[in-house]
Amino acid sequence: MNQSGGDYHDNMNIENHMRWLRTNVMLNLPPNSDVVVDNESYHNKQLDAVPTSNAKKVDMQTWFLLKGIEFEESMLKPDLYKLNKKTQRTI
């Protein structure tokens, strides 16, 4: 976890947690094992979640591509978010 010996929570996020699970935990578990985790925010991430206003522009664009929603590459983040809100009403 934290190389300096401090509290690892400061360095933990969903990406670090998933990397740690793949490289340290999953490789060492026998087949059909159960993994129980607490409700820490970095343990929970909705797959294919609708981007929020805090999402990065590239994440919004990626989500649109995956959903087949057309957008202009030149669109600014606020415009992408407006499109996001508009398409949510129709989905």
CATH number, domain of 53, equals: 1.10.720
Range of the domain at 34: 1-45
Tens digit of each residue's pLDDT, the chain (91 residues): 445 555 555 677 778 877 888 888 888 888 888 888 777 766 666 667 889 999 999 989 999 998 999 999 999 999 999 999 998 876 6
pLDDT at 29: 87
Cα-trace Rg, the chain = 18
The verdict on 55 and 68 lying in the same domain is yes
CA dist., res. 43 & res. 21, Å (int): 10
The verdict on 39 and 68 lying in the same domain is no
The verdict on 62 and 79 lying in the same domain is yes
Give how many domains the chain has, as a whole number: 2
The verdict on 56 and 76 lying in the same domain is yes
Give 80's contacts (C-beta < 8 A, 6+ positions apart).
57, 60, 61, 64, 71
The verdict on 21 and 60 lying in the same domain is no
pLDDT at 1: 45
CA dist., res. 79 & res. 12, Å (int): 31
CA dist., res. 53 & res. 25, Å (int): 33
**CA 7 to centroid of chain Cα atoms:** 23
